[in-house]
Amino acid sequence: MSRGPDAATLLARALTAGAEAAGCPVEIANADWTRWASATFAGARHMLRLSAPPSPALIAWIAALPEAEFALRGHLVADLSVAAVRHASDIITMKLEILTVEER
């Protein structure tokens, strides 16, 4: 019996849906994750590269990301940082580093 999508899939869906709702659709150019655990928590570290055409809505969305709330069934976003943003004339690319923790 399937448990449903993993944290990486849920996170990618939440990011693209959030950008779409903000009026700045993004594409995930690259995504990777590694398992992570501490003495009290288990989860994953995610690294994503996203791209989108430049717009004021995109700039506002990127700025708001570290404080954004995400609904990920069975997981919490414990930390999100925008590690890099590169502006070109026709595209903006960003690197996100995100820590998710499994809910128990």
Residue bearing tokens 């070109």: 88
pLDDT in tens, 85-94: 999 989 999 9
The C-alpha atoms of residue 73 and residue 10 are separated, in whole angstroms, by: 8
Structure tokens at 70: 């995400």
For residue 81, give the nearest of 95, 92, 61 by alpha carbon: 95
Question: Could you tell me the maximum CA-CA distance found in the chain, to the nearest angstrom?
Answer: 48
* Cβ–Cβ under 8 Å, residues 94 and 62: yes
pLDDT of residue 80: 97
The C-alpha atoms of residue 42 and residue 15 are separated, in whole angstroms, by: 22
Q: What percent of the chain has pLDDT over 90?
A: 87
Please give the C-alpha separations between residue 31 and each of 47, 87, 89, in angstroms, as whole numbers.
6, 20, 24
Global pTM reads 0.91
